[in-house]
Amino acid sequence: MLPELTPPKKPIALRPEHVVDRQTVFRVQQHGKALSAGKFTVFSLDDKAAAVALGHNAGAESAGKAFSSSSAAASSGHKTNQAEQRQTMFTVDGKYMSMTRKVHDASGLPLFVLRRYSTSRKWTVELPRAESKKSSQPIAKLKSRYGSLKDDRNLSFKNAFPAEGAENEQVVLHIEGQDIWKQRTNIRYGNRVVMTAKRTDKMSTYLPGIKIEWDVIVTAGMDVSLASIIVVLLGQTMYESY
């Protein structure tokens, strides 16, 4: 069931330039199905696909255009035809059998590095670093809750928009699976659902030739680059058992 999304009182972000000012719909597509399949593409949707993701709610057309009109990454003079609406937002690359994923925006600018070290089952988010450096401090950490067949994880990080007097406060987003098939996942901040992701095909993880995709809806005040890496991490941990 599609949950009701509620905007946070303050924006939630790792990259302030990718915060949207209205409800936004986009899709994350994974290329390959194995654990080593580390390539993803994140793209905006045309009006028809956005309406389907929103359950044909009123306002679906404008939601389908939200990323293009409100993100700092969108180009000016954006046309409204469907070919233009479906534009790449982010790309994720990962080498075969590597536990490192590199996230870039549509222009190729490096944004994040997702990494799982061999000594830990936890995924971390780091900023891009020079190849000469040996380590980088994580800016976000994904922690799993054990004993659940559903997706049940916490992502903790320092918000780019901290509350007054709480510059070092850690924000925790609760990643809450809704079913054992891992088809829909809601993301909560406190008691507010600020994001939801749903796989477009229940059988896509079992049938050959069907790419795994998620339709993602975020509320106003959310960072779509942050939302994208949450879905990428869902894809990377889908087959893990705890």
Asked whether residue 90 is domain-assigned, the answer is yes
Asked whether residue 51 is domain-assigned, the answer is yes
d(CA 77, CA 68): 10
Domain with 164 in it: 16-237
- Among 33, 30, 31, 37, smallest CA distance to 207 is for 33
Asked whether residue 1 is domain-assigned, the answer is no
Q: In this structure, are residues 178 and 150 in contact, taking their beta carbons and an 8 Å threshold?
A: yes
And the tokens for 44? 């905006």
Q: What is the DSSP string of 18-52?
A: GB-SS-EEEEEEEE--STT--EEEEEE--HHHHHH
Asked whether residue 11 is domain-assigned, the answer is no
- Please count the other Cβ atoms lying within 10 Å of the Cβ belonging to residue 41: 17
Please enumerate, as own/partner, the contacts of 58-65 that have beta carbons within 8 Å and a separation of 24 or more: 59/23, 60/25, 62/22, 63/22, 63/23, 63/24, 63/25, 63/217, 64/25
Judged by phi (left if over 0) then psi (alpha if -120 to 50, else beta), residue 72 lies in alpha
pLDDT at 180: 76
Asked whether residue 10 is domain-assigned, the answer is no
pLDDT at 185: 94
pLDDT at 130: 55
Asked whether residue 71 is domain-assigned, the answer is yes
pLDDT at 87: 92
Asked whether residue 86 is domain-assigned, the answer is yes
DSSP single-letter state for residue 67 = H
When divided into structural domains, the chain yields a total of 1
Q: What is the CATH number for 99?
A: 2.40.160.200
- List all residues 6 or more positions away from 158 whose beta carbon is below 8 Å from its beta carbon: 139, 168, 169, 170, 171
pLDDT at 179: 79
pTM of the entire predicted model: 0.83
How buried is residue 28: exposed, middle or buried, by Cβ count under 10 Å (0-12/13-18/19+)? Answer: buried
pLDDT at 119: 76
Mean pLDDT by 10 residues, the chain (242 residues): 94 97 96 73 90 66 43 41 72 86 97 87 86 72 73 92 81 89 91 95 67 94 98 85 50
